[in-house]
Amino acid sequence: MPRAELEYPKRPLGTVNRYSPRASYSLRVIHSIVNTCPTLHVSFNSPDSPFPAILPMIGQMGSFDRPSSDEGDVLDLYLHGYVSSRVMNLTRRPATDDSPSGLPVTVAATHVDGLVLALTPNSHSYNYRSAVLFGHATLVEADDEKLYAMELITDSVVASRWQNSRIPPNKAEMSSTSVLRVRIATGSAKIRSGPPGDEKHDMENPAVVSNVWTGVVPVHMSLGAPIPGPYNAVDKVPVYLEEYIKSMNEIGVDHSVKAAEASAEPGKKPVDD
C-alpha cells in the first residue's frame, strides 16, 4: 500500500488563515520549497535588541540519523551562515516546561514563479510558492554530524560539488564553520498558480478588456555560463556542472510555465494574494 502523506500539525502559529485553500501542510511540499530556495531568512528575538533579528542563511532539510530519508519524511533543517557568539549563546538555552531547548526561530522561503498582470492594479499578483517553518535551533557540535550537514548544504548549492572539491575540510575549516540544526515544531506552505482574476464587471467591459493586456509573465532563476576564476587550472567546465546548470534551468522554465498555464479552480476567481 502507498505510504500516507505526512503533514505538519495545524497549530495556531502555523495555520494559514487568509486564502486557506492555497495552504499546504504536506511535509513533502514544504520541504521541497525550502530545499530549492537559494536563501532562507531566519528570524528570532534577541534579548539585547528592541527589534527582531533576521539573517539570510543557506539551508537544507535532512536527517543525520536517517540519511536516506526523502523530502516526505520528518526532517531537521540544517543552516549555514555566520553564527556570532551572541547567537551561539542563545542556541544553548535550556529546555523548560513550556519549550524545548534551543533558540526559537521562524524560517521563511519564497519562490516567485510569475508576474500576474490583471485588468486593474488591485488584482495584480505573483504566482509563488512560500513556506514558513517554526522550530528550535541548536549548534551542531559533533564533527560527524557537522560533516553530514556541510556535505548536504554544499550539494544543495551545486549537485555533486562536495565530491568534486578538496575534501575533507581541515581542522581549521571545521572549527571555523558553524552549523545550526533546527528541530521543526510545525510549518505551512502557501502556493498560488494560474491566470489573473478580475472582477466580473471589469471582465465584461469591452472598453477595459480591449485596452489592457492580461496574463502571466513566467519567472524563474537562470544559471549562466560558468566564468573561470583567476587561478582556475581546469581547461573545461566539468560535466557534472554543465549537467546541473542545464537541469536547473530546464526545471525552472518548466515549473514557471506550468504555474502560468494552470487553470483557476472551477467556478472560482483565482486567488490574487
pLDDT category, 269, cuts 50, 70, 90? low
Asked if pLDDT for residue 268 goes beyond 60, the answer is no
pLDDT category, 267, cuts 50, 70, 90? very low
- Which is higher by pLDDT, 97 or 259? 259
Asked if pLDDT for residue 116 goes beyond 80, the answer is yes
pLDDT category, 1, cuts 50, 70, 90? very low
Which tens digits make up the pLDDT trace of 187-199? 999 999 999 999 9
Which tens digits make up the pLDDT trace of 156-183? 999 999 999 999 999 999 988 999 999 9
In this prediction, residue 75 carries a pLDDT of 98
- Cell numbers 485596452 correspond to 211
In this prediction, residue 98 carries a pLDDT of 75
**What would the mean pLDDT of 31-60 be, rounded to a whole number?**
95
In this prediction, residue 85 carries a pLDDT of 72
**What would the mean pLDDT of 117-131 be, rounded to a whole number?**
97
Asked if pLDDT for residue 155 goes beyond 50, the answer is yes
Which tens digits make up the pLDDT trace of 201-248? 999 999 999 999 999 999 999 999 999 999 999 999 999 999 999 999
Asked if pLDDT for residue 45 goes beyond 60, the answer is yes
Mean pLDDT of the chain: 92
**What would the mean pLDDT of 24-41 be, rounded to a whole number?**
97
In this prediction, residue 36 carries a pLDDT of 97
pLDDT category, 51, cuts 50, 70, 90? very high
The full set of domains in the chain, from first to last, is: 20-261 (2.30.110.10)
Asked if pLDDT for residue 87 goes beyond 60, the answer is yes
**What would the mean pLDDT of 123-136 be, rounded to a whole number?**
97
